[in-house]
Amino acid sequence: MPQYEQKITDTLELNYMPYAMSVIVSRAIPEIDGFKPAHRKLLYTMYKMGLINGHLTKSANVVGQTMRLNPHGDAAIYDTMVRLTRGHEALLHPFVESKGNFGKHTSRDTAYAAPRYTEVKLDGFATELFSEIDHDTVDMVDNYDGTMKEPSLLPVTFPNILVNPNQGVAVGMATNICSFNLTEICNTTIELLKNKDHDILMTLTAPDFPSGAQLIYDADGLRNIYETGSGSFRLRSKYRYDKKSNCIEIYEIPYNTTIEACQDKIEELVKLGKIKEISYMRDETDINGLKLTIDLKRGTNPDALMQKLYKMTPLESSFSCNFNILVGYSPKVMGVREILNEWIAFRVECIRRATYYDIGKKKEYLHLLQGLRKILLDIDEAIRIIRQTEEASDVIPNLMIGFGIDQVQAEYVAEIKLRNLNREYILNKTAETDALAEEIEDLEDLLNKPKRIHKLIIKQLQEISKKYGKPRKTQLLYPDEIEEIVEEEKVDDYAVTFFLSKAGYFKKITPLSLRMGGEQKYKEGDELLCSIDSNNAAELLIFTDRQQVYKCKASEFADSKASVLGEFLPQKLGFDANEVPVAMFATGDYSGHLVYFFANGKGVRIPLNAYETKQNRKKLINAYSDAAPLVAVYHVREEGEFYLRTSNNRHLLVKSSLIPEKVTKNANGVTILSVKAKNTLISAEPYQSGTFVKPEGYRTSSIPVSGFLLKEADKKK
CA 83, CA 163: separation in Å to the nearest integer? 15
Closest CA to 478 of 210, 185, 219: 219
Catalytic annotation, pick one of 16, 19, 117, 144: 117
Element (H, E) at 250: strand 247-252
Peptide bond into 314 cis (omega under 30): no
Q: Give which of 687, 694, 689, 702 is closest to 653, Cα–Cα.
A: 687
Asked if 117 is an active-site residue, the reply is yes
Cα–Cα distances in angstroms (integers) from residue 47 to residues 36, 58, 280, 555, in the given order? 17, 15, 49, 66
Identity of the residue numbered 687: Y
Please report, as a single letter, which amino acid is at residue 616: N
Bridge partners of residue 643, in order along the sequence: 653, 685
DSSP label of 31: B
Q: Report the C-alpha dihedral over residues 271, 277, 283, 288, rounded to 10 degrees.
A: -160
Q: Measured between alpha carbons, how far is 310 from 297 in angstroms, rounded to an integer? A: 19
The helix/strand/coil state of 64 is helix
DSSP, collapsed to helix, strand or coil, labels residue 104 as coil
HEC secondary structure over 398-452: HHHHHHCCCHHHHHHHHCCCHHHCCHHHHHHHHHHHHHHHHHHHHHHHHHHCHHH
Q: Alpha carbon 711 to chain centroid distance?
A: 73
As a whole number of angstroms, the distance between CA 34 and CA 166 comes to 8
Cα 180 to Cα 162, 163, 326, 566: the distances in Å are 6, 5, 19, 55
Q: What residues are labeled active site?
A: 117
